[in-house]
């Protein structure tokens, strides 16, 4: 997978090639990244192909004369792995340091390399896990020309998936503290500037709307500065070419194994290259790197495909399932979940919850989750966060859990560990536990809550102790972990003034410390991430939890966009989705949509009528029969995007290609009467019966002709499910 010849590194598998050359200057040039290329030939043909043919000229003080490097290195034009800063390269460096003399010159040059038969792992950060499939890592050591700061660049490649992982580790081998002003995870210089950038913008309850723009000259950025990966933008983005479609053409997907502020930046200039840097957002970032310490940047993930958007997406899904999510949790068949939130919000008693449990059984529920409102003084969102003890006046939790288990159901509970209400015992005892800065006469509230200072070990430990007391006292098999506000005051009483530029990142490290301790102590508990819906849908969180609540919007029309778009970068098994009481559409439609996610319910089950119970039970039995094999572990194809057509459709095919589930929803009725739904991913020569018209066709036919939807009346905004099964 990694070959080396004459300072030319070739990372490759059967489909992709990545050539890196260490030039005479000691800089790492990115010679080629793309489709597999066996023989790169004479690399000077590529290196000299740029518009400007001049080599960079230097003036050597010691010899008092001009010179150029023998291999014609052009400092500001060449594609490189790490641009310099404060020198001639103006494209944007991934790493910027502040030197003892006050200057910011950073210039990393080659020292040595090694090849690892594994992936790097980290104590403090989530990382790509190694599984049984072969992978290798090229680990190159570079040194800053003017200081004792070293950088390891790690680039990993897999044999069985077209994924590259990149990150930097910055090491201080000097004897003074060095401020790091920017610590991105990667740079990638592509030798083309005709790309479109797809990113996923949104807000609370309408997360991940796909926005497509041409990559223009100058800088473009997709980022979050809200202290979490955010509703506003998601760290998953991808590039396409003009003629790329879902099944054809070049696509390069990116993601970051991180849950905090990020910045994905592109820069185009007249040399027709696309310069990409990606990593932690440098806004207010200032990390004081002490002697002998290492700053590890989160790993960036690149998914490459020539098989269109789905090629990239399938790659990403495979990677997330095999190398991000804990495999033991990923492979466990998930119970049908019933969540109390939308049914009763804060308004419940022991008896009402017991009646919910009983009625939720009628629709096949297997795991009952008591959401917000069971702890401290919590009858609304104005108080209680931070006080993780049962509100005995409101609920007899033991009775509820015992009732649940006596009915053969599992029990789950909600926490919001990183937050605190001013009206709480914890705040009254420890006002210094919140994020803010000295001298402020006010601090911003969202939903009446403040953010706990997770950059402090003491604060994290306090919450940990409170949580384990609850978890150890009750039979809990699921935890929903919420996070309902962004960070505004990113400053801490627990750190010196020099370290205030570290707080955004330290808070995320505190989040990882707590979930790591909890998931290690309770390996069998199913954790689900959540942040006011889908405000922290990222690979950092998925490293610890196998699923994340996708959005607080359970209106199926809005949600169809959210789930479809989320599934471009994340597998369906990770997308938390429930059928709710939202009045738009039938329960059947809502449940079918939820089926293309984790599947569960969230309504007042006492109010369900016979028809609704039967619609939901029908989908519950489809869930039990097919979900684990065909949806949670199948291969997903996007057949029709609701954003650029008047129907939404996806098809998930089981690994052995014997079954497929297809979801289809008409938005506006077609005025043109003929419509064939072409499927993808089936075995060409196998024959399948489809549940729509009961016909039997070959996989080839379904791909080339499709299911004929023309003659049927397909109502608007009603989900249809077509089940395809192989026949002899
Ligand atoms: C926001 C979450 O997204 C909801 O599902 C629910 O858990 C509420 N918080 C509870 O406060």
Q: Which of 162, 282, 482, 553 is catalytic?
A: 482
DSSP E strands in 102-217: the ranges are 108-116, 135-144, 149-158, 163-172, 178-190, 196-203, 206-214
Q: Which of 552, 555, 644, 693 is catalytic?
A: 552
What's the pLDDT at 438?
Answer: 82
Rounded to whole angstroms, the Cα distance separating 193 from 202 reads 27
Ligand 1 pocket, mutate which of 337, 376, 484 (most atoms under 8 A from CB): 484
Burial class of residue 112 (count of CB atoms within 10 Å of its CB; 0-12, 13-18, 19+)? exposed
What's the pLDDT at 54?
Answer: 62
CA–CA distances in Å: residue 228 to residues 285, 355, 437, 484: 14, 37, 20, 11
Q: What are phi and psi of 75, to 5 degrees?
A: -55, -40
| Beta-bridge partners for 263 | 223, 279
What's the pLDDT at 668?
Answer: 82
What's the pLDDT at 670?
Answer: 65
- In this structure, which residue's CA is closest to atom 1 in ligand 1? 532
Rounded to whole angstroms, the Cα distance separating 450 from 468 reads 22
Rounded to whole angstroms, the Cα distance separating 532 from 68 reads 56
DSSP 623: I
Rounded to whole angstroms, the Cα distance separating 263 from 346 reads 37
Output the CA torsion sign for 381, 383, 389, 392.
Answer: negative
- In this structure, which residue's CA is closest to atom 6 in ligand 1? 341
**CA torsion, ordered 613, 615, 621, 626, to nearest 10 deg:** -150
Ligand 1 touching residue 532 (CB < 6 A): yes
| Beta-bridge partners for 653 | 635, 660
641, two tokens: 């995007």
Burial class of residue 702 (count of CB atoms within 10 Å of its CB; 0-12, 13-18, 19+)? buried
Q: Output the CA 261–ligand 1 centroid distance in Å.
A: 22
Alpha carbon distance, N-terminus to C-terminus of the chain: 41
- DSSP for 265-291? EEEE-TT--EEEEEEE--TT--EEE-T
Rounded to whole angstroms, the Cα distance separating 539 from 511 reads 14
Rounded to whole angstroms, the Cα distance separating 306 from 248 reads 6
Consecutive H or E run containing 401: helix 397-406
Q: What are phi and psi of 38, to 5 degrees?
A: -65, -45
Ligand 1 pocket, mutate which of 416, 530, 554 (most atoms under 8 A from CB): 530
Q: Output the CA 483–ligand 1 centroid distance in Å.
A: 8
- In this structure, which residue's CA is closest to atom 11 in ligand 1? 372
Q: Are the CB atoms for 237 and 198 separated by under 8 Å? A: yes
Model confidence, pTM:
0.97
What's the pLDDT at 51?
Answer: 45
482 catalytically annotated: yes
Give me the average pLDDT of each 10-residue run along the chain (728 residues).
95 98 94 97 78 70 87 80 93 96 95 98 98 95 96 98 98 98 98 95 97 95 98 98 97 98 93 92 98 98 98 98 96 97 98 98 98 98 98 98 98 98 98 92 95 98 98 98 97 96 98 98 98 98 98 95 98 98 93 98 98 97 98 98 93 98 88 82 98 97 95 87 97
Ligand 1 touching residue 580 (CB < 6 A): no
Rounded to whole angstroms, the Cα distance separating 514 from 531 reads 16
DSSP 423: B
Please name which of 246, 251, 256, 237 lies closest in space to residue 190, comparing C-alpha atoms. Answer: 251
Q: Are the CB atoms for 406 and 398 separated by under 8 Å? A: no
Q: How many CB atoms lie within 10 A of CB 62?
A: 5
Q: What is the pLDDT of residues 538-562, one digit of tens each?
A: 999 999 999 999 999 999 999 999 9
CA–CA distances in Å: residue 270 to residues 49, 50, 192, 204: 14, 10, 11, 39
Please name which of 381, 355, 377 lies closest in space to residue 368, comparing C-alpha atoms. Answer: 355
Ligand 1 touching residue 549 (CB < 6 A): yes
Q: Output the CA 552–ligand 1 centroid distance in Å.
A: 7
What's the pLDDT at 437?
Answer: 86
Rounded to whole angstroms, the Cα distance separating 681 from 250 reads 19
């Amino acid at each position: 997978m990694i070959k080396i010849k004459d300072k030319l590194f070739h990372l490759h598998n059967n489909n992709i090639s990545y050539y890196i050359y260490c030039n005479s200057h000691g800089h790492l040039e990115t010679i080629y990244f793309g489709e597999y290329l066996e023989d790169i030939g004479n690399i000077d043909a590529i290196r000299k192909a740029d518009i400007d043919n001049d080599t960079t000229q230097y003036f050597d003080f010691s010899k008092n004369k001009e010179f150029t490097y023998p291999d014609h290195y052009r400092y500001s034009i060449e594609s490189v792995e790490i641009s310099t800063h404060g020198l001639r390269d103006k494209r944007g460096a991934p790493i910027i340091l502040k030197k003892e003399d006050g200057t910011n010159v950073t210039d990393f040059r080659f020292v040595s390399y090694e090849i690892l038969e594994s992936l790097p792992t980290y104590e403090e950060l989530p990382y790509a896990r190694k599984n049984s499939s072969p992978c290798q890592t090229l680990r190159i050591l570079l040194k800053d020309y003017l200081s004792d700061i070293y950088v390891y660049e790690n680039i990993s490649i897999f044999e069985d998936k077209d994924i590259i992982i990149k990150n930097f580790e910055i090491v201080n081998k000097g004897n003074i503290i060095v401020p790091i002003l920017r610590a991105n995870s990667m740079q990638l210089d592509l030798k083309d500037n005709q790309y479109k950038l797809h990113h996923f913008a949104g807000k609370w309850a309408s997360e991940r709307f796909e926005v497509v723009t041409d990559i223009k000259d100058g800088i473009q950025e997709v980022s979050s500065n809200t202290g979490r990966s955010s509703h506003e933008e998601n760290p998953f983005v991808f590039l396409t070419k003009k003629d790329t479609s879902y099944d054809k053409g070049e696509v390069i997907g990116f993601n970051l194994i991180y849950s905090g502020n990020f910045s994905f930046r592109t820069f185009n200039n007249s040399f027709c290259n696309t310069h990409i840097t990606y990593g932690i957002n440098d806004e207010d970032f200032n990390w004081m790197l002490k002697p002998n310490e290492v700053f590890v940047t989160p790993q960036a993930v690149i998914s490459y495909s020539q098989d269109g958007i789905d090629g990239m997406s399938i790659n990403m899904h495979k990677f997330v399932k095999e190398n991000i999510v804990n495999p033991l949790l990923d492979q466990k068949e998930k119970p049908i979940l019933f969540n109390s939130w939308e049914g009763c919000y804060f308004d419940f008693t022991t008896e009402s919850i017991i009646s919910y449990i009983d009625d939720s059984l009628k629709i096949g529920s297997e795991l009952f989750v008591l959401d917000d409102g069971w702890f401290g003084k919590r009858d609304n969102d104005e108080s209680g966060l931070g006080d993780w003890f049962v509100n005995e006046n409101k609920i007899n939790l033991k009775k509820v859990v015992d009732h649940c288990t006596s009915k053969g159901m599992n029990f789950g509970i909600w926490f919001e560990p990183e937050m605190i209400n001013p009206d709480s015992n914890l705040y009254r005892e420890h006002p210094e536990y919140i994020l803010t800065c000295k001298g402020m006469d006010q601090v911003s509230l969202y939903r009446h809550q403040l953010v706990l200072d997770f950059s402090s070990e003491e604060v994290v430990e306090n919450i940990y102790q409170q949580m384990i007391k609850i978890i150890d006292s009750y039979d809990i098999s699921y935890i929903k972990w919420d996070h309902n506000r962004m960070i505004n005051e990113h400053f801490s009483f627990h750190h010196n003034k020099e370290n205030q530029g570290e707080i955004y990142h330290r808070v995320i490290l505190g989040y990882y410390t707590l979930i790591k301790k909890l998931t290690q102590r309770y390996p069998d508990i199913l954790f689900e991430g959540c942040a006011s819906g889908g405000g922290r849908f990222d690979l950092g969180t998925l490293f610890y939890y196998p699923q994340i609540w996708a959005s607080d919007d359970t209106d199926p029309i809005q949600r169809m966009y959210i789930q479809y778009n989320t599934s471009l970068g994340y597998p369906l098994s990770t997308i938390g989705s429930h059928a709710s009481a939202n009045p738009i559409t039938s329960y059947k439609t809502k449940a079918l949509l939820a089926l293309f996610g984790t599947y569960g319910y969230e309504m007042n089950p006492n109010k369900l009528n016979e028809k609704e119970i039967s619609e939901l039970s029908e989908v519950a039995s489809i869930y039990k029969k097919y979900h684990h094999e065909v949806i949670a572990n199948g291969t997903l194809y996007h057949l029709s995007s609701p954003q650029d057509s008047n129907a939404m459709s996806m098809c998930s095919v089981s690994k052995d290609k014997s079954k497929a589930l297809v979801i289809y929803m008409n938005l506006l009725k077609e005025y043109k009467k003929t419509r064939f739904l072409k499927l993808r991913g089936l075995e060409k020569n196998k024959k399948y019966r489809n549940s729509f018209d009961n016909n039997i066709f070959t996989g080839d036919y379904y791909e080339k002709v499709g299911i004929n939807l023309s003659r049927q009346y397909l109502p608007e905004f009603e989900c249809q499910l077509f089940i395809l099964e192989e026949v002899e």
